[in-house]
A and B are shown apart, each in its own frame.
Chain A
Amino acid sequence: GAVVSQHPSWVICKSGTSVKIECRSLDFQATTMFWYRQFPKQSLMLMATSNEGSKATYEQGVEKDKFLINHASLTLSTLTVTSAHPEDSSFYICSASGWVPTDTQYFGPGTRLTVL
Chain B
Amino acid sequence: AQSVTQLGSHVSVSEGALVLLRCNYSSSVPPYLFWYVQYPNQGLQLLLKYTSAATLVKGINGFEAEFKKSETSFHLTKPSAHMSDAAEYFCAVSEGTGGFKTIFGAGTRLFVKA
Task: Tell me the A residues contacting B by CB distance below 8 Å.
Answer: 4, 6, 31-32, 34, 42-46, 49, 51, 91, 93, 95, 97-99, 102-105, 107-110, 112
Contacts and interface: CB of A to CB of B under 8 A. Distances in A.
Contact of B104 (A4, A44, A91, A97): A44
Interface of B: 36, 41-46, 49, 90, 97-99, 101-107
Contact of B41 (A4, A34, A103, A112): A112
A104 B41 contact: no
Given A49-B101, A103-B98, A104-B98, A42 B106 contact: yes
A contact patch SS: strand
A83 B110 CA distance: 37
Given A44-B104, A105-B98, A93 B46 contact: no
Please list the 10 inter-chain residue pairs (A to B) with the smallest Cβ-Cβ separation, ordered nearest first. Answer: A32-B99, A103-B98, A97-B98, A107-B43, A107-B44, A109-B43, A44-B104, A43-B104, A43-B106, A103-B97
A30 to B, nearest CB: 9
A34 B44 contact: no
A18 to B, nearest CB: 23
Contacts of A6: 43
Nearest to A5: B43
A109 B26 CA distance: 28
B101 A44 contact: no
B98 to A, nearest CB: 4
A46 B102 contact: yes
B42 A42 contact: no
Contacts of A32: 98-99
Nearest to A104: B97
B38 to A, nearest CB: 9
A83 B13 CA distance: 45
A112 B102 CA distance: 21
A34 B97 CA distance: 13
Residue from A6, A103, A105, A110 with most neighbouring chain B CB atoms (10 Å): A105
A44 B4 CA distance: 12
